[in-house]
Amino acid sequence: MRKFISALVLCFLLCTVSGITQPVDKTKFFAEDKIVKATLVTNMSKVLSGKMKDGDSIPSSFTLKLSEAEGITENILLSVRGNFRRKNCIIPPLRVDFKKYKSSSYATLGSLKLVNACRTSDEYDQYILMEYLIYKMYNLFTEKSFRVRLLELTYKDTASKKKPVTQHAFLIEDTKDMARRNNMEEWKKWKVLTEQTDREHTTLVAVFEYMIGNTDWSVPVTHNIRLIYNKETQKDFPFAVPYDFDYSGLINAEYAVPSELLNIESVRQRLYRGFPREMDELTKTFQLFKDRKEKIYDLINNFELLHTSNKKEMIRYLDEFFTTIEDKKMVKDIFITNARKE
């Protein structure tokens, strides 16, 4: 009996060290902030060729180092996604399917979007870090937001002798998981107009997008927006949840160009894309931003991976927003008089 118990203990210890017995807790995975060292081994020549179509995937492997022990390597399926960046980037946006291999300890993570740098340069690496911070900023306002996990990702090519490349990237929480965390479900019914969503929450979304200088979103066509709703109460008004902030003025990526229909010269030029609100509604929403200002600035200033120059520029851009919402005349002009009309 003692030998049997000793064998069980030894087995438990070996499995714990190797990290293969316990599936990854996806809630905990996205709740933690510590950067994860990861390695993606795939046919990079095929990924970079531009010939992969929607639905195409290639077997690859993914390693995550979630503890001080050695990282765990599992099989995955890798696919490309996106439109503009897929056509214009050296490295296209990727999707990692962990769930294909049921025995994988990562299978619980499901299929996740991987937000990776468009090009292999320090400038583009900084873009990724700034977009990551915007997700973290929005997390400060509401649980109805996508959580993200930052990676230090190394790409290894199986098809050539190219040297591995290491850059930052981040994984985005799955929509279903985000909705479930809020005791809701993803809205997949009929088309919803902006003013048919929860009014107070959509006001928050529109002001946040204005703060970061992002006009690249739309509720009716669910462009960079996901909708969730409370199925139990059958509430008629779903909640809009924004994502994909790389076109924001706060980042000011060199490839980010606003739509010609908006009549603005650059993404640095803010334009409110929400609908008119009463002054008391705006005052209530602005207070949320004022209450979180210090935490937002701390996120930026305490983020060691971001260059000092980028920190200063982000703070300066945000300062303009906070100055604006303190000026009643500017508030009336921007958020009421010149807001969008139905």
The DSSP code sequence of 186-224 is E--SS---GGGS-HHHHHHHHHHHHHHT----BTTTTBS
> What sign results for the dihedral spanned by CA atoms 319, 325, 328, 332?
positive
What confidence score (pLDDT) does residue 10 get?
Answer: 38
Answer for the pair 339, 274: CB distance below 8 angstroms, yes or no: yes
85-133 pLDDT, tens digit per residue, is 656 678 888 999 999 888 888 999 999 999 999 898 999 999 999 999 9
Mean predicted confidence (pLDDT) in 202-220 = 97
Overall average pLDDT of the 134-147 stretch: 98
d(CA 122, CA 235): 46
* Higher local confidence (pLDDT), 162 or 324: 324
C-alpha radius of gyration, the chain, whole number: 22
The predicted pLDDT at position 48 comes to: 81
Average pLDDT over residues 287-307: 98
CA dist 202 and 219 (Å) reads: 9
Residue 143: exposure state from Cβ atoms within 10 A (0-12, 13-18, ≥19):
exposed
Q: At what angle do helices 308-324 and 199-212 cross, to 10 degrees?
A: 130
Instruction: Look at residue 9 and tell me whether its pLDDT is greater than 80.
Output: no
Residue 322: CB atoms within 10 A of its CB come to 15
pLDDT at res. 54: 75
Q: How many Å apart are CA 163 and CA 151, to the nearest integer?
A: 19
Please state which of the ranges 27-31, 46-50, 71-75, 191-195 shows the lowest mean pLDDT.
46-50
Percent of the chain with pLDDT over 90: 73
CB neighbours of residue 53 within 10 Å: 7
Whole-number percent of the chain with pLDDT over 70: 91
pLDDT band at 296 (very low <50, low <70, confident <90, very high): very high
Nearest residue to 136 (alpha-carbon basis) of 247, 207, 64, 30? 30
What pLDDT score does 128 carry? Answer: 97
The lowest-confidence range among 41-50, 69-78, 83-92, 172-181 is 83-92
pLDDT of residue 67: 82
pTM of the model: 0.91
Asked if residue 269 lies in contact with residue 249, where contact means CB atoms within 8 angstroms, the answer is: yes
What pLDDT does residue 271 have?
97
Question: Any idea where the domains of the chain sit in the sequence?
Answer: 24-176, 184-337
Average pLDDT, stretch 20-41? 89
DSSP summary character for residue 337: I
In 21-166, which residue ranges form alpha helices assigned H by DSSP?
26-31, 44-48, 84-88, 122-139
Query: Averaged over 39-56, what is the pLDDT?
Result: 83
